[in-house]
Amino acid sequence: MSTPTTAQAIRNIAIIAHVDHGKTTLVDAMLRQSGTFRANEAVAERVMDSNDLEKERGITILAKNTAIQYHDSKINIVDTPGHADFGGEVERALKMVDGVVLLVDASEGPLPQTRYVLSKALEAKLTPILVINKIDRPDARPQEVLNEVYDLFIDLDADDSVLEFPVIYTNGKAGTATMDLAVPGTDLQPLFELIFKTIPPATGTPDGDLQVLVTNLDYSDYLGRLAICRVFNGTLKAGEEVNLSRIDGTLQTVKITKLFTFNGLKRTDTEVTEVGDIIAVAGIPAITIGESFCALENPKPLPTIKIDEPTIAIVFSVNNGPFAGREGKLVTSRNIKERLEKELLTNVSIRVEDTGTPDNFKVLGRGELQLSVLIEMMRREGFELMVSRPQIVTKRINDQLMEPSEILTIDIPESFVGTVIERLGPRKGEMVKMANHGSGRVRMEFKVPSRGLIGLRNEMLTETRGTIVMNSIAGDYIPYTGEIPQRPSGALISDRQGVTTLYALDGIQERGVLFLGDGVEVYEGMLIGEHSRDNDLDVNCVREKKLTNMRASGSDDAVRLVPFKVLTLEQSIEFIADDELVEVTPKSLRMRKKVLQANRRPKGNRSGAQPE
């Protein structure tokens, strides 16, 4: 059984930051130094990033919670994503806590997602602690970064009382913290003490009206669905019957079969909850995020969690290409529908709309990254599907067509300033801020329609020779800005089925950039490269050399292909035009035309229909 703690001895904090500023690494160090792991226990780096995709990409996708014992007290820590695309996870996580640890890189300073997560924390009136991390970097500038953070708080209209936040300096990798830069830290003891001194204990009383909010979901092979909850008021006991306030406002009587509290990364059985604790409840199969437990008599449900509106939509379809069913085991519309319904249970910021046809599903989310992560997860689970080019979600306000915008921050060497401004002009980008930190790099801020960012990253990386750092956060809705030019180039398209040959590709490569090499199976209508001109070109990439006495097969050894360009899933989704699709299978990514036969394809405009 878990050791009982009082609400006074519990602190609930969320670690919030821009992506890659060291949140998960700092949590690792806190877990190690609190004695959560045995001395001889092997622990992986970034232990909180449990998802394979998180480990590969080095980013946090799902908000997760852990708990550490500090003397006789307990700190519940929620590690949140830094990407604005996963804002639903951030908003949900902030419902579980009473304070935030705002982590900022000592060199990079506050970046777009720092602004985003901090604005959410201030909206929720949470107490902040500023941690300036990575002070060991050779280019660290902690004092200037501190001033930039103060400016950010003021910019976000923070109350004067909030501006008196404490500041601590850390090296998350080494696991050290200090309140004074002149005195190097030896461990994270100052951070633990600062959390208890600054973050308020949970409010509420054990004998008050029961109020427990479901903020996350987990799954156990033995217990089924687990609801991760925050106890705001009252006491929940294993075996008792309580009301469950559903999303639609109805009340349902349910029995609590099992209760858990958290200790490190493990769940521990408990019979009774403490006010302010973060717990897991088992035994309620249809429970979902945003619902709350309340008393049978005089129920007082908590308000449901409000999430920002989706801005991007992608159509998921059944794979109907010539190679359909070869590599995946989950290929039917029923499989895809069930998987999307399962995702809706745990992912509060995604929506699925009916398209009127049983084989197509319109999936709406906060950004391309969020939706491409879902596609990649489905792909690894054995799904085969096709996905369309992302479209923006427009709305009518006062009879005017409005579209979502984004605040785009770009950090580049001074020599590329003109290039960036030139590229963002046609995409309706409007510069709102520009700062030169004197390091040879310039930081610029633009307000851009969300449409204008589709395909921008690849273009910018090419134009700036990979030196650009780009980040964006959702802005407000703006009047529709008119047509934005899409991909300026056409595609090289296979005009028949077969296997690519060195001989054929050698003749095609001067027409553009190839996406595949020799010996790859292709079909009619499949994209094999990017045309150097603005029109599509159907090519025979499977043609073999006819052998004669004059031309021997050995002369093929002299053919040298330019290295072809392999596109990732995100790059493929950004590259395709409105009349194209990405075919996603567990083993392959193929880009193709919606209409495969060349003689049935409409000629000319690839940009598709404009919004109504």
Which residues line the annotated binding site for GTP?
20-25, 133-136
CA pair distance 104, 482, nearest whole angstrom = 38
Q: Tell me how crowded residue 488 is: count the other CB atoms within 10 A of its CB.
A: 10
To 10 degrees, the CA torsion angle through 27, 32, 34, 39? 170
CB 395 within 8 A of CB 376: no
The annotation places the binding site at 20-25, 133-136
CA pair distance 610, 612, nearest whole angstrom = 6
CA pair distance 442, 557, nearest whole angstrom = 48
CB 171 within 8 A of CB 135: yes
99 contact partners, CB below 8 Å, separation of at least 6: 11, 12, 13, 14, 126, 127, 128, 129, 195, 198, 199, 200
CA pair distance 48, 44, nearest whole angstrom = 9
Q: Tell me how crowded residue 218 is: count the other CB atoms within 10 A of its CB.
A: 16
Angle at which helix 142-155 crosses helix 112-123, to 10 degrees, equals 50
Q: Which of 601, 570, 96, 107 is nearest to 371 (CA)?
A: 570
**Integer angstrom CA distances of residue 403 from 55, 119, 368, 399, 451:** 34, 22, 16, 13, 9
CB 416 within 8 A of CB 467: yes
3-state secondary structure 13-26: EEEEECCCCCHHHH
CB 590 within 8 A of CB 573: no
